[in-house]
Amino acid sequence: MTLNAMRGHIDRLIANLRVTRFHFADDLDIRWIDDREEAMAITDADPVEIHLPHIRSTLDYATCLHELGHVSGRYQDSKSSKTRERWAWQYAREHALFWTAEMEEDARASMWRP
């Protein structure tokens, strides 16, 4: 899988998100960042902000999918942060064009990070 294919897939998911969840382009602010460790979705902001890493690896791709999962995934209104994280990763797995052992290891490790 090429980086361009991963980038194109994320772009299509964002475009679909804009159509299905947000009615106006101004309701969703996508910010591209350099450090995937700083990726986040701020769902209580107006507009909703998603900080996504530039895709330079499969782990960046997985992180993008995960952050989109915080907006589109199941159980994101749970009071439990562990539940929200687990289901954002589930969204990532379900929507990925592919899923590697390295991506799975990173997802599992992130569940233990504070």
Q: How far apart are CA 24 and CA 69, in angstroms?
A: 20
Q: What does residue 80 show for φ and ψ, rounded to 5 degrees? A: -90, 120
> Which residues 6+ apart lie within 8 Å of 68 measured at CB?
10, 13, 14, 17, 41, 50, 52, 91, 92, 95
pLDDT band at 16 (very low <50, low <70, confident <90, very high): very high
Q: How many other C-beta atoms can be found within 10 angstroms of the C-beta atom of residue 39?
A: 18
Beta pairing partners, 48: 28
For 93, the token pair is 């797995």
Which residue, 103, 7, 12, is CA-closest to 54?
A: 7
Residues in the chain: 114
pTM above 0.85, yes or no: yes
Q: Residues 64-106: pLDDT tens digits?
A: 999 999 999 999 999 999 999 999 999 999 999 999 999 999 9
Q: Are 69 and 87 in contact (CB under 8 A)?
A: yes
